Structure formats: structure tokens, C-alpha cells
Structure 1
Amino acid sequence: MARRPDVPTNRPAPEPGPAFAEFAAAFPFALDDYQRDGCAHIEAGSGVLVAAPTGAGKTVVGEFAVFLALREGRKCFYTTPIKALSNQKYHDLAERFGTHRVGLLTGDTSINSDAPVVVMTTEVLRNMIYAGSSTLRGLGYVVMDEVHYLADRFRGAVWEEVIIGLAPSVQLVSLSATVSNAEEFGDWLDEVRGGVEVVLSERRPVPLFQHVMAGRRIYDLFEDEAPTASELPVGGEVNPELIRLAKEESRFVRDDSRRPRGRGMRDRIERNAAGRGDRGPNLIPRRDGAIEKLDAEGLLPAIYFIFSRAGCDQAVGQLLRSGVRLTTAAERTELDALASSATTGLSRDDLEALDYATFAEALRRGIAAHHAGMLPAFKECVEAAFVRGLVEVVFATETLALGINMPARSVVLEKLVKYNGEAHVDVTPGEYTQLTGRAGRRGIDVEGHAVVLWQRNFDPRFVAGLASRRTYPLRSSFSPTYNMAVNMVGRVGREKARGLLEQSFAQFQSDKSVVGLARAAARNTEKIAQLWADAACDRGDFVEYARLRAEISRLEAEAAKSRKADRRAESSSGLLELTPGDIIGVPSGRHEGWAVVIDPGVGRDRANPSPLVMTEQRQIKKLSLADFPSPPVVAGRMRVPKHFDGASPKDRRNLAAAFHTKLRGLDTRQSRYQPAAMDAEIADEVARLRDALRAHPCHGCPDREAHARAAEKALRLEKDTEGLRAQTERRTNTIATRFDKVCAVLSALGYLSEDGAKVTEAGRMLARIYSELDLVTAEAIRAGVFDELDAAELAAVLSSLTYESRGGGASRPSRMPTRSTEIAQTMVRRIWREVRLLERDHKLDQGRDPDIGFAEATYRWANGVALSEILDETELTAGDFVRWMRMVIDLLGQVADAAGDTVVRDNAREAVDRLRRGVVDAAYLEDD
């Protein structure tokens, strides 16, 4: 896209025009220089990227675009990444510019959608662009709030699709948190949009002081007590008192380690380390003590970050038990009214299931949690109460640091380590900046405060390093999807679509990284040559020999992985088929041996069969799928008395005697497990390679294993180098190359014409499906997988295409809720495997597999089962339950649109009506 020649890039801001003067006059305070510059660029006809710290007021620049659109008789779309932000911004703009001139579109909600100013989620705008919506006519400005969300690996691509797809005539106003590569991002915006200016502000509107709380005292982190007036490095020396405390604690721990380690001594050490002991430094603050200290120092309200949902809820409970109360009688009355309003429409049973009483009691004391596991209505109640100054402390996960406008006087970080889904890692400087950026309310506080709590092995210098560095780079997560491909080909044609994708920020960044990758590959090549020289054998070609060994290992590992997955499914099926009296082999674990089944342990929960058995040692035990890495072998049968009582010694004795008699009549030398057979083709190949290995001249070398060690290092380094070269290849025209592969898959399946130039009827159907497993969903519709399902069954099966298990969430049952859904899910998985094979053939990264962990809950909810029962059975939090249910509803809506005039469309719509009840429907009402 050509740059407009009349607007040079990154020029000094022009003088503001009359529109800005009129706009600024409405504010009771003078606007900051950066706000003035951003508005001046927009009035002069440029797009703009504004990057400024959290709470610095960058949305003023977005509101100026709204003001200009209304002044000029054009449209302005104000986009946000999440529905909660859209709702918040809609109310702000409606209050300022009038409800008749402002609308809201979030997919679930449509208010005054033909208004000249419409607030919407970014996905809604993306879908409008692909559909060529008439609503886009007259669009003059698009504000993209929180544009740094384009780094989000799940939803970030939507931002780039919008930026690339908007008409050249639209002025783009991008608002971002402070990122360390804002200039790079601005250069890309200027390249693809033309005439985009970058306006940066490092200055915090409220200076930030950095502290450490140790024991009952709050220390300044830096010796000179200088606040962070910007997000540039703070500098300054670490407070020597903190250094002394760290040394004292270290010496105490070291001295204790030399003492005898009796139980009493260990308990005392733990008490001392936790700040509850009678000896040594008393440094780790209790949560209730920390809040009381902040209150005494006038540092409330505070956001107290704990990187765990359970930790946030536990903290609220701790404060309740400790009797902390932070509100006045008048505030409690107001909070009661807020809580009551937030739960309108929820039944008494729902409120009991949600533990509303605890939530309400904590709220009226000025205490609350805020995390994704909470019911949306509860979260929004907390947000409203906090903004109105009624809640003094919110225990939050890091998700609160993004988006929602909830500044506080202080921010507390309990720990500087978090779990990232794979391992416990240190908080990065960028994350520290994002979290502490909430401290200090503009127009209310003269200063903000960041307080880090002392923990075991605390290093004040590490905290100072976090507070002194600004490293928050923006990295693109853009990658073409099947839905994106058919939409873009349908809108602009194959070649133009390919050219547009080459303009993505992902490609822009990739082109810059190739040099470093090539250099690393060259270094590896030299090391590999040396390692192969070290592995040289005088008896023959050891390179050839080593590659034979490696290939055998690879094939065996691949076969073992496949067998393990197959065996788990077989074990589950085998357990479900057990009957009382079956004599089975328990292949491994504590109960290894023969056992007789007393009760198959299936009942209603076919997801987790747990047979009750008597073992050879006469013990009555309940087994689970974990005891059967291979399917149970039924070696024989015997009679178990119908009224057998496991608590009766006589019954146990009689059954054990009969069991051992029966065992003597069986051939107990036979295996207790079914050996997992290797795929015949792989087995033949492994046998052929082993013959070649034994016949190789290097096989008999007395130094064979010494040579092999060097060879294995060389092979590992070769694999790493292949990865580097593959990255180099991918990053050269990486996006366009992936787009070509995606189009090839779509052509092979008939969604695009054979030459990939035109969208077929099937492709137009796929264009309406935006889920992560979009192609699998479309293929299932075409194959008639959903045709025989009723509404509840359809919802259950579709849940597997949206849900993704997380640690501590729902269990992952091995069965679907009904026979019809089992058949349909088997077909879905077959389609998914076929798609994966096609992706593998085209060298495309393969998507995640369907996850049936939410199917039973979806089915039961669609059939009217109570919330309390479902939450108890799944172990889901209310917030997770509502979020996943809304995603199922979204997919049902997409399937209804895609399926045309069919029974599937009717059932999908009926399923939506069934699922939108109780807490799920209340979440939609909150949006309204």
C-alpha cells in the first residue's frame, strides 16, 4: 500500500487546529504535550500510533478521533480487544457524546449499531471487513485501543487482519501500552497504511515510588527515594538496609543448616522463615498484616497481585477470618446494593452454588478477588466498586494488568515468580512494568506506590533491576488460517491476498531476524565437522553407522508414543466392559497381580470407571485408569455373591477362598497384560535396520561407544542446525509461504478451486466459521456428522472443537454423554486425523486435537441440570464454566450461519436458547 506523499513520516507535530481547540476546551485541565501532538497529527490527516504508560490518558487521543468524525459527519469505529472493555468504553463515550450518537457491537450485543460512532470488539470489525458490510460506508476513523494485544498468541492475528484490510482512506489511531519497540511497530504501520506518525510518552502522569515490605516495615527500594517519574531506567543505589537484611537472613539460614535437623527444629525454621518464629529475622509479611500496614500508611486502595486464582480466593478468605474491615457503614450499604444489582436474575440455588454469601461479605468489608475463574457478574461488580472507591484491596491475577481501567494508589506484588503453564519463571522487567503501572490514580493521587513483599532468598538487587529496565517488546503472532484464507481470496483474489499478507507485521519482523539465524547455523556447522572427526572409526563409515542407530531409536520412540495413546483408549474401553466376577490382571503399580471384580464401578460416570476388586492378597481395593497402562486381561470368571459385603470378614474370607481356588485352576503363568504390538510396517523396518546395524563393520569396534558419544552430539547439533535453517527458510516470505500451503490444503478439500483462485460454495460456508478448528468444523458439517444429533448432543460435540483443558480445570472424560455423541465424536476425530495428515503432507503446523473435557457439562447444562451439580462434577470455576459455555454458544451461532436451511441450523439455534440460561444468560445481560 503506497504511502501518501503529502504526509512525511515521524515529522514534528503540526500546530493544533481549531477542532483541537474546541475539543480541549471541554477538559477541566490542560492536556499533556503528547496528547496534544497525537491530536494535532490526526487533525492534519495522518494516522497515529500513541504509546504511553498505563493510566497516562492516551484514550484522549482516541476520543479526539471520535470528536472529529462527529464534527465532519463521518463514522468512527472504536475497537477494543475484549467485551468488558467495549462495554466500559461504550458507556464513557455515550455519556460524553450522547447515547443517540454512540452504538455498541460485541457479537452478543447490538445497541444502536447504525450510529456514527460504534464501539466494538476487534473481531466484529474483522468480520465486517471480510463480509464487505455496508456499515463500513462513510467510515473515516478507526481507533484500535490496546493495540499491543496483537502479540496475543490466540487472538492477536485479528489486529493485523484489520490493519491490513481497512480501506486506505480510513485514518487509523492506534493506542498502545509502552513497548520497547514502538518505533519498529510505527515503521510497519507507516509502511502498510501510509502517513502514520509515532507519538511516544515515557512520563507517568503520577510519579511511582518503589518499595519493599519486610516484616511489618515498608522500606524504600532505592537509597535516594527517587520516584519513577517515567518508564525509563530509574538508576540509583539499592537501599543498604535491604542489602543488610538479605545478608542477615542468608546467614541465619546458613547457621540453621548446620544444626541437627530434628522435627522440632525443622518446624521452628519454617516458623521463622514465615515470619512467625521466635528466632532469626521476621521478614515474610502475612497477607492480613500487609493490608493493615498499607492501610495504616495511607497506601490503600491497592491491587495485590497473586499469580494464582486459588491464591486470590485464599487471600480473601484469610482476610475474612482475620476480621479485617476497610469500609464505613455508608459504603457497606452502597456495596450491598451493587452486589444485589449484579446478581439480578440469578436464582437462590445459583447464588448458593457460587458461594455468593462469601463474595458479598468480603465485598462489604472492602475486600475482593478478581480473576478469570470468577463469574463475569462478580468481576464486573468488583470493577464498578473499585472505580467508585468502595473496595480497598483487590487480590488479582496478572490478567487485570491488561485492559480494564482499575488504577489504584498502590500495587503489591506478593512474589516475583509465576507459573507460565510449563514452569515457574521469574517475572520479566516488562511484566513488572505492566503490573506496577496501575499504581497512582491521575487526578486523585499525587504519587503511586509499588510494593514488593519479602520472600525467602529475597534479592533486593534483582527487584531493582526489574524496576530499572524497560523491555517490553511487541512481537507479532500473525499466521494465516483457513478461514482467513477463504475470506481474503473471496474479497480480493488469491494474488492480492498473498501480497497483502506479505505486508504483515510478522513478516516485517521476520525479515530482520534472518541474519542472526544464518550466523548461528554457520557456527554449528563448524562444530559438527569437528564432532564427526572425533567420531571417525578405522573400521568403516561411522557416520553411516550412527545414522542407522538414530533412525532405529526414532522409529521405536514414535511407535511407543503411538502405542501409549492407543493403549489408554483401549484400557478405558476394557474397564467399561468389566462385569462382577471377572478375574483380571492388574499389569503394574501397587496392586499388580490378579484380582476379581466385585463391582465394575461405572454407574453414571462412564468417564472415570473405578472397579472395586479383591486382590490376591485379599485386599478390597478401588482401581482406576491409572492402574491400567495396558488394557485389563480377563483370564476367567467366577461367581461373586449378589449381596457381598466388603466390610464383613466372613464375606471377604469366603470370596478369597473361592478366588484362590479359581486361580489354581487357571494358568496364572500367562501374562497379566496385553503386550502392545508395534505397527507391522514399523516393526519390519526396525528389524531391517537392526540387521544392517549388526552387519556394519563399525559394529564390532572396541571403541564403538566412545565414537558414538561424539556422533550423538553431532546428530543433536545437526538437528538444531536444521531447525535454524528451517527458521531461516520460514522467515523468508514466511507468511506468504504459509498462505500458499493453507490454500493448497483448501484446494485439495474443495474449499478453493483447483488453482486456488476462487472460493467454492464449501469455501463460502467455511468463511462463516472463526473457531481455532475451523476446517475440522466445516468438514464435519459437510460430512453430515451433526445431522442426527439433537440440540443438546450437537452442543456437546461442538464443545470439543472449542474447549481446551487447563491445569486444575475440568476432568477429561474418555466418553461422550450419549451413544449418538460418541459416534459423532469418533467421526470428528477421524476428520481431524485426516486434516492433520493433509497438513503434514503440506508441511503445515498441526492444530490442537479436539478435547471432550467439557462435553458432559455442556450436554447436562443444555438439558437443564443445576449449576451446583455441574460445578461439583467438573471442578470448573464459575468463570471458566461461563466463558467456555459462551464459546460453545459462539460456535453454535457460526455453525447455524454456515449450515444453511438444514436441521443442523435449527438444532444449533435451539441449543443456543437452551444454553443461554441462569449464570450464562446473566453474563450476556451484563454485557447489555
Structure 2
Amino acid sequence: MSTDAPASGPELTAFTSRLDFGIDDFQRRACQSLEEGRGVLVCAPTGAGKTIVGEFAVHLALAEGGKCFYTTPIKALSNQKYHDLVEVHGGENVGLLTGDNSINSSAPVVVMTTEVLRNMIYADSAALVGLSHVVMDEVHFLADRFRGAVWEEVILGLDQSVRVVSLSATVSNAEEFGDWITTVRGDTAVIVDEHRPVPLHQHMLVGNRMFELFDRRGRGTEKGKRQVNSELSRYIKHRMLSPDAVGGYEDRLSRERRRRGNRTGGVNRPRMIANLEAEGLLPAIDFIFSRAGCEGALAQCLRSDLHLLEPDEVAKVDAVVDAHLAELAPGDSDVLGVDDWRWALRRGFAAHHAGMLPTFRQAVEELFSLGLIKVVFATETLALGINMPARSVVLERLVKYNGESHVDLTPGEYTQLTGRAGRRGIDVEGHAVVIWTPEVQPERVAGLAGARTFPLRSSFAPEYNMAMNLIDRLGVDGSRALLRQSFAQFQTDRSVVGQARQLDNADRTLRKLNNEIDAAAGRSGIDPERFTEYVGLREDIRRKERAQKFVRRVDGAHAIAEDLSALTRGQVISVETGRHKGLAVVLESAWKGADPKPLVLSEDGWVGRVGTDDFVNPPVVLGGIRISKNADTRSRHARREITAALQKSGIERPRGKVKKKAAEPDYELDELRRRLRTHPMHKASGLDELYRMSERRARVQREVAALEKAVHERTSQLETDFDAVVGVLVELDYLEDDGAGSLRVTPTGAVLRRIYSESDLLVAECIRAGVWNGLSPSDLAAVVSSVLFVSRRESYGAGVDSMPGNPAMRDALTGTIQVWEATNRVQDRHGVVQTREPDTGFCAAVSAWASGRSLREALGAAGSQGNLLSPGDFVRWNRQVIDLLEQIRLGVDPADPLAGAAKRAVAGVRRGVVASELS
């Protein structure tokens, strides 16, 4: 919804004058707030134009003579934004920093990944001088459980003079997030816009038929939600009842897919694309939540006769592809599958996922933006801000793999993915199409499409590098104070508001009861303090008795369980409770567990398992009878024979009533009881009302104590985790007493401050232990990869002899494993989560590559270890190795031979296809 209202400030007027479109109201309000000197949080749907606000921040910084950093969550988005800003402001004014790429880093405008800015803050980089604006694109990424803490570290660590522009997808708790930013950064305008500039229509594709998901007449349910299209529901019901009568081909595929356990293999993509084309819904993005699924879909289309481009368009595709392949080594074309990739592009379809070379992905993005690709099969990474809108978005599944398990899509994820549908200024409307399968029913899709609750939750948690840098900058007390300012703590504090209110009410009730008891005691001529003392004694005794009873019950259960576990076949015991009391012979020993239950045959012929609940005291073996090893105790005949043998054995049950084992004397409890009997109030009479009031007071006191404990546990978790991390760092001498009652970073700790890996502590410990000293550059690159790489299968665990490489590399890997084990023992003592085990699965590949071997040989080396890497994965892992090697080089003393080895290792890895991807 654009507006003709005049911009309020001269810079906004200047900015809008160069645009060839009018800005929307939410964009204008956000930009006005920025020009007024305020920070802004903008929450709006995908494709609504949030980046206009970020671009105005760049304009404003340049106009004021300041600097602007534009941060993004992924390198691909940083690269894209860099090129966009260069087109507007020129290459001399715009730089790029992505960890492995540096272009014009001293420019007044620098695009970077959020981690780079976090590292600059911790290093107190000179580049921060003069910084006036920071744009945090996709700031909702702070909910990411792996990397989200970085966003909070930046927001908390930036100088207060910096104006922060936070751009977020639509979240339902935008006001809460905005309140937090205002709390920690000062005046911040919260601009929320839920209007999609291009309306989105929801569909389901059932076989060859396309249906509207919702009732087109706009009818709702009794709860106000839109009603599922009744025609769609009827058609699916008929299809389910008569699979061979209606669209039998797809249903047979669906049944075969379920039979094979392949949940994505049953979609006929060429037919689906034909349906989309017939409905006028191309270009489309088909989200398939696996790389293999994307490649399989692409192969399916290549086997068909599908051609979506005209001859003149094919020529344009060739020109773009040739430009992107210019730096590729000729010998790498075959191993990279260039011919098949190009052939698919020339027919108008492509894949897009992290396993592809970045060069290939960039070519796909450019071709799609030019309208030269009609269908892209993509993983969800494409939804992360990359500018690739389409007329329609297709979802084949509503389940994705989150790195650990397959989980259902959330409403927020569904909205983020389908938000790509509808090109502003091109399409009148966008379309979301969900492929029907028996597992994907309309009601489930409607629940996702109709949800409006997408809360943003913090993933902030203290880690080693964070703790070291915070303590170095702020000290321990200052670090704790900063933790209390985190969004995680802010949300926790708000979540216990209800409990805090209950606690406040209970406190008031308690004070009132105390006053009433004092008054009533005074009227009865009783000293209120003596009465309270007496009541306290009664409460102490009651608590002691309850605790004693609990301990006795637990101890008794443990003793019974131990004796039940020890019973063997043929032993005779006495069951004292239940319907089958009496003698019983053991047929099978107990299974292992907290409540072991042997199988017994009772003297009345009952067969079953008995456990701790069937005994008051531990079972006593009264004797035994012989049961033949060959006896089939499951047959009635054998059981009758065993019962007869039991009755003839002469073994008798213990006589008399079963008594519980006497408890050990509790001298403290005896003393409390003595003090109660001798107390002056013990024989006082006429105090029934006072006792009832005191009972109520005791209940309220217990409620207060429980609420205080709950609130404390929830509000102190961050500091508890921080203290545990600090405990590890102190024990390992990364932190030491500064002589003034606080802690300071040791020289060893200075290395850890510069290591930003997930396994930061392990890396620092390996450096300190010297296990990586003396390695050749290629061996160093290989060993360093072991603390980064994550195999799709377990690649270590068969012992040192199975490790890859020469003796020096194997010795270093063995040392790394030993350091990892020792470090985890320290972490265990402090209750800190263990560091992930080193993984040798990439060692052979990176060693071969760093030694100058060909891409084919390096990929083959990975395959020999059972890790079939895609070219994109190969480049990605090499990038991470380069990044960590650079951290090691900069973290150790420049004169340390390890620094030189790391520098040479970087040079060895940064070549060929890896170097071209970093240019």
C-alpha cells in the first residue's frame, strides 16, 4: 500500500527521489524514525520491502559522514547485498567481509555476516570507529539454535551511539522483541506491517486437479478460522475410497512410495509442472527438504521431454552460464557435472541447495531473476532472504530434517517458505501449492496457512569464547550484568510474571495472617513469639517425619529390588501381598531395571511377574525345588508338576503378621519431640482457632517457598550456565585470579579469545598441548578439519590404526582425540555439555587438496573414507578449514611455527575451485 504522503525529512526526500516507485506507509514511518535519530525494528512479510529501510540507513550514514555495516545471516545473502549496494553507491564506497572474502573493507559501507561483526566487537576493531548505523537483516535468525546467540551478542555489544536497524520476518511477539531492544539500546520504533503487497492464494494439487484450499465464499468456522474447501474434501474422500477410479496413477505411486518408505519419490514432477503451466503458475519454486530430493527431481525432469524455454531464451542462458564458468578449470568440468547442469538450465529448470558449488547457485539465482528458469527445486535455505521471488511456491512435504530428526514444519516456517510466492510489480497475486498425499490432509495445511502466531524465542547461551571475551572486556560482574540484559533473560523474566504475581499475593496473605495470629494470641493472653516457636516445632517434626518416611520407603524399595534381582530359577519365596499371597517358586530370573520382576508360579497355580509393590520387606529365600532344564514352564502340564513339587517340598510360609523392618533411630527427631513435650504451650487449652490459623499460615509459607524456588531457578539459569563455563576455564588456566577478587584472562586464554569455532575449547587445548606442532601444511589442514567436519556416517571409532594419513598425521589425530577426552572429563565435572567428538571423515580429502592433487582425486579420497561429498560440500568444508586456520594464525604468537604452518596451509587449500569461489 504505497502512499503519496510527503517524506518528513530532507534525507528521506532525497532518498525517495531516486526511486522509481513510491514507498509504502510502513517503510516511510520506519525511515522517518531513523532520520529522527531513533533505532527501528521492522517486522513485515517476506517480499514486503523491508530492505528499503536498510538501504535508507546506508544512505543516511553516507549523508551524515558516518559508516554503516549491513549484516546478514549467510554469505550468499551478503554477496547479493554487496552487489546491490555497489550498483547504487559505487564500488569505492561499498566493501564486503564474509570471513573468507574481503573486498574494500575500509569502505564507509561494508556488508558482512553477523559473525564477522561479533568478532570485530570482541576484538575492539578500529573499523568500529565512526560507525553510526548497523542493519541486521533477518534478525529473527537469533532464534536459530546453533547460531542465534550471535545476534544478541552484537545487539548487546555495539556502542550505544550506533543506531540499529533490525529487519525481521513477521513474528507475533514483535512488541516484546521491540521492548527488549528499547531496554538495551534506547529509543527504538517498532514498525509492524502484516499486509502482503501481493495477495497469496492457497491451493492443493490432488493428482491432476488444482483446488483452492479455503472455501472461496470466505465462510469461517465457529472459531473464526477460514473453512476448508468442501469440494476439495469431497474429492479427496472419493479418491481415498476409490483409488483406482480417480487418478489411479498417482495413488499407485503413493502406495508404492509408502511401501518403500520413500516419502518424496512418488511425485511426478513433469506432470506437476505441466499442471502449473496450464494454470499460469510458472515460474515456481518447488521446496523439497533434501539435497538428494532436489537432485532426484531434476533427474526426473531431465528424463522427460520437458522443455520450458524458447530458442532465444536458451541462447541467453548459455551466455550467463559461460560467464559464471569462466574461472572454472577445464579439467574439473566432468567431475562437477557441468554438462548435465547446463542441459537442465537450457530446458528451464534447475536445483538450488547447499551441496552445489556457489558458482552454480549464483548462476541459478541470476537466471531465475531474468525469467530464464521456470522451475527451481530447492531446499529451505533459499527462503533465507535471497532475492528469488516466484509466481508460485510448491511444497511436496510438510516435514523437514532439522539436523537431528525429521520434524513438522511450523506455521512460521510455512509462512517464510510460501512468502516467496508473488513478485511485486509483476504478479497480481502469488500462489502457494501443497501436493496432496494421504499424509498431507487439507486440515493440516489450513492450520499452517491460517496460523498467525510466530513467536520469536531466544537461543542465547553462554559459551567459552563468549565468556572469555566478555570477561576480558567487562570483568565477571560486568559479564553477569550483560547476561541479565539478554533477550533470553528478558523473556524468562516476563514468563515468570504470573508466578511473581502469585508470590506477591502469597506474601501479602502471609503478612496478614501473621498480624491476625499475633492479635488473636494477644487476646488469649499468649505470647505470640512463644506460640510461633511452638508451631514451628510442630512443623519441623512433621517435615522430619515425612522425610523419614520417604527415605524409609525409598531404601526399602531399593533393598527389595536388589533381592528380587538376585532370585534364580527354582528358589522358593513368600509373596505377602496381593491376591496370590503364599509360597511361590521362581520360573525365570528378573529382567534388569529399576523394578526387576521375576516370573513366579504361586502355590495356587497362578503364573505372573512380581515386583517391589508385592513386598513389604525384601523377599527371603525359604528353600528351593529342582526344575529340569528341559521343562517347558509355559505348558500347563509342566506347571502342574512344579506346583505339586512345591506342595510336597515341606517348605512353609513364615508364621505371624508381616512387620516392616524397624527404622534406625533418629536422634534429631527424638530431640524435637522432647522439646515439643516440654514447651510451655504444649498443655495450653482453648487454642483451636489459633491452631487453625497457624495451619493455614504454614500452607501459605510452603506456597511462598515453592514459588520463590521456581522463580529463582528460572531467572538464574543463564548465570548458572555461565558460572559452569567459567569453572571449566579457571580449572584449565584460561582465567586466573586478578588479586582483587575477580578474574582476568591469562596469556593462554588470549588464544581462546580468537577462536570462534563450535569446538573452540578443544582447538585452544590442542594448540596449548602442542599436538599440532611440526605438521606439514597439508597435514595441519587435515587435522584441523577433524574438529569441524561432521560426517553423514560415523567415520571414527575403529581405533588409531584406522585413521587416515601418514604417521605424523595419525599421531596428531591421536593426540587430538586424547585432548578431547581429557577436556570432556573437565566439562563433566562442571556440568557443561561435552564438545563434539573429532571426525576424521574429511582429513584425506583436504590433505589431498592442500597437497596439490586434482579435484577428482580429492573427492575420491573422501569417498574412500565413506563420505561421498558433493562439490558444494567440498568447497564449504574447505572454506571452514581456511577460516579456522586463519583464526589459529592470528591467535598464536606470530613467531610461533604453528602460525607459519597455518599460513602455508591456507595457501594450499585456497586454490582452484575453492579459490574461484572466494573471489
| Shorter-chain TM-score range | 0.7 to 0.9
Q: Is the 8 A contact 1:810 1:875 kept in 2?
A: no
Native 8 Å contact 1:53 1:204 kept in 2: yes
Q: Is the 8 A contact 2:560 2:617 kept in 1?
A: no
Aligned partner (choices 867, 876, 879) of residue 855 of structure 2 = 867
Asked whether the equivalents of residues 540 and 697 of structure 1 are also in contact (C-alpha less than 8 Å), the reply is no
Post-superposition shift, 1:342? 1.8
1:906 partnered with 2:900: yes
8 A Cα contact 1:234 1:467, kept in partner: no
Name the CA distance, whole Å, in 2 between partners of 1:549 and 1:204: 67
Q: Provide the residue aligned with 2:772 in structure 1.
A: 786
Q: Is 2:735 the counterpart of 1:735?
A: no
Which piece of structure 1 moves more, 47-56 or 727-736?
727-736
**Which residue does the alignment assign to 1:924?**
918
Query: Which one of 163, 166, 182 corresponds to residue 158 of structure 2?
Result: 166
Deviations, residues 428-458 of structure 1 (Å, cap 9, x unaligned)? 2221111100000111111101111121254
The answer for unaligned runs of 5 or more in structure 2 is 259-264, 503-546, 566-611, 623-652, 654-706
Q: Residue 79 of structure 1: SS of its match in structure 2?
A: strand
Q: What SS class does the counterpart of residue 889 from structure 2 fall into?
A: helix
Task: For 1:811 and 1:331, locate their aligned partners in 2 and report how far apart those are by CA, in whole Å.
Answer: 49
Which of 209, 223, 232 does residue 242 from structure 1 map onto? 232
Give the counterpart letter for 2:889 in structure 1: A
Q: CA deviation at 1:290?
A: 0.9
SS where residue 753 of structure 1 aligns? strand
Q: What's the offset of the Cα at 1:472?
A: 2.1
Q: CA deviation at 1:351?
A: 1.5
Tell me if the contact between 1:802 and 1:887 (Cα under 8 Å) persists in the aligned partners.
yes
Q: 2:29 aligns with which of 37, 40, 48?
A: 37
2:880 pairs with one of 878, 887, 896: 887
Secondary structure, counterpart of 1:543 in structure 2: helix
CA distance in 2, matches of 1:804, 1:236: 44
Aligned to 2:378: 396
Q: How does 1:305-324 map to 2 (within 5 A)?
A: 305-324=287-306
What SS does the corresponding residue of 2:618 show, helix, strand or coil? helix
Secondary structure at the counterpart of residue 214 of structure 2: coil
Q: 1:802 to 1:91 in 2, by over 3 A?
A: same
Structure 2 counterpart SS, 1:853: coil
Equivalent positions of 1:30-179 (< 5 A) are 30-179=22-171
Specify which of 468, 482, 489 is matched with residue 500 of structure 1. 482
Q: Which moved more, 1:843-852 or 1:303-312?
A: 843-852
Q: What does 1:530-549 correspond to in 2, within 5 Å?
A: 541-547=552-558
| Equivalent of residue 9 in structure 2, options 17, 23, 26 | 17
> Offset of 1:196 from its aligned partner?
1.2
C-alpha distance 798-549 of structure 1, shift in aligned 2 (>3 A): farther
Q: CA deviation at 1:419?
A: 3.3
**What's the offset of the Cα at 1:323?**
1.4
- Matches of 2:906 and 2:720, distance apart in 1: 38
Rg larger in 1 or in 2?
2
SS at 1:698's partner residue?
coil
Q: Distance in 2 between matches of 1:875 and 1:760?
A: 42
Q: Distance in 1 between matches of 2:713 and 2:384?
A: 31
Asked if structure 2 preserves the Cα contact closer than 8 Å seen for 1:541 and 1:698, the reply is no
Structure with larger RCO (C-alpha < 8 A, sep 6+)? 1
Does the CA-based 8 Å contact 1:765-1:899 persist in structure 2?
Answer: yes
Letter in 2 for 1:912: V
Answering whether residue 767 of structure 2 is matched by residue 767 of structure 1, we say no
User: Displacement, 1:147?
Assistant: 0.6
Aligned to 1:598: none
CA distance in 2, matches of 1:268, 1:766: 57
RMSD over aligned Cα atoms: 3.6
Maintained 8 Å contact 2:563/2:619: no
Shift of 1:884: 1.1
Please state how far the C-alpha of 1:274 moved relative to its aligned partner. Answer: 7.2
* 2:880 counterpart of 1:897: no
* CA drift at 1:699: 3.5
Amino acid aligned to 2:421: A
Gap change, CA 1:753 and 1:406, over 3 Å in 2:
same
Inter-partner Cα distance in structure 1 for 2:388 and 2:737: 53
Is the contact between residue 133 and residue 165 of structure 2 (CA under 8 Å) also seen in structure 1?
Answer: yes
Contact 2:886 2:906 in 1 (8 A): yes
1:843 and 1:727 mapped to 2: Cα distance?
Answer: 21
Q: Is the Cα contact below 8 Å between 1:539 and 1:697 reproduced in 2?
A: no
Q: What residue in structure 1 maps to residue 407 of structure 2?
A: 425
* Distance change in 2, residues 1:819/1:424 (3 Å): same
CA contact (8 A) 1:413 1:453 kept: yes
The answer on whether the counterparts of 1:41 and 1:47 sit within 8 Å (CA) in structure 2 is: yes
The Cα shift of 1:551 comes to 9.9
Larger deviation: 860-869 or 322-331? Answer: 860-869
Maintained 8 Å contact 1:507/1:731: no
Distance 2:429 2:820 in 1: 55
Distance 1:362 1:843, change over 3 A: same
Q: CA deviation at 1:393?
A: 0.4
3-state SS in 2 of match to 1:382: helix
Counterpart in 2 of 1:186?
178
Tell me which residue corresponds to 1:648: none
What is aligned with 1:336? 318
Rounded Cα–Cα distance in structure 1 between residues aligned with 2:127 and 2:289? 42
Does 2:189 align with 1:206? no
* TM-fit CA distance, 1:15: 7.6
Q: Secondary structure of 1:452's partner? A: strand
d(CA) in 1 for partners of 2:731 and 2:708? 28
For residue 412 of structure 1, what is the aligned residue in structure 2? 394
CA–CA separation in structure 1 for the residues paired with 2:563 and 2:162: 59
- The letter for the 2-side match of 1:896 is R
- Pick the aligned partner of 2:825 from 833, 837, 842: 837
Aligned to 1:299: 281
Q: Greater CA deviation, 753-762 or 205-214? A: 753-762
Could you say what secondary structure the match of 1:203 adopts? coil
Residues 647-695 of structure 1, C-alpha deviation per residue, up to 9 Å, x if partnerless? xxxxxxxxxxxxxxxxxxxxxxxxxxxxxxxxxxxxxxxxxxxxx99x9
- Structure 1, residues 355-408: CA drift from partner, whole Å, max 9, x if none? 111111001111100111111111111111111111110001111111211110
**Compared CA separation, residues 870 and 226, structure 1 to 2 (3 A):** farther
Residue identity matched to 1:733: S
Offset at residue 800 of structure 1 (A): 1.1
**Deviations 1:468-526, CA, capped at 9 Å, x for gaps:** 11232212111122111222222232222221121111111223345789999xxxxxx
1:828 maps onto 2:810 in alignment: no
Which is further off, 729-738 or 872-881?
729-738
Read off the aligned partner of 2:827 and give its amino acid letter.
Answer: E
Which residue identity is paired with 1:361? W
The C-alpha deviation readout for 1:5-36, integer Å capped at 9, x for no partner, is: xxxxxxxx998322212212222222111101
Provide the identity percentage.
54
Conserved in 2, the CA contact under 8 Å of 1:539 and 1:701? no
- 1:698 corresponds, among 598, 603, 618, to 618
Task: Give 3-state SS (helix, strand or coil) of 2:233's partner.
Answer: helix
* 1:592 matched residue in structure 2: none
Distance in 2 between residues matched to 1:235 and 1:172, nearest whole Å: 37
| 8 A contact 2:467–2:726 mirrored in 1 | yes
CA drift at 1:427 = 2.1
TM-score by length of 1: 0.73
Letter in 2 for 1:243: S
Match of 1:707 in 2: none
Q: Distance in 1 between matches of 2:295 and 2:818?
A: 41
For structure 1, the 5+ residue unaligned runs are 1-12, 257-265, 277-282, 521-535, 555-691, 704-723
Instruction: Pick which of 780-789 and 488-497 moved more.
Output: 488-497
Distance 1:739 1:141 in 2: 30
Distance change (3 Å), C-alpha of 1:504 and 1:457: closer
Compared CA separation, residues 405 and 170, structure 1 to 2 (3 A)? same
Pair 1:329–1:846, CA change in 2 (3 A):
same
In the alignment, is the contact (CA less than 8 A) between 2:68 and 2:109 conserved in 1? yes
- What CA distance in whole angstroms lies between the structure 1 residues aligned with 2:207 and 2:350? 23
Moved more, 884-893 or 476-485: 476-485
Does structure 1 conserve the Cα–Cα contact (< 8 Å) formed by 2:218 and 2:227?
Answer: no
Match of 1:674 in 2: none
Give the structure 2 partner of residue 373 of structure 1. 355
CA distance in 2, matches of 1:458, 1:152: 26
1:869 CA displacement = 3.4
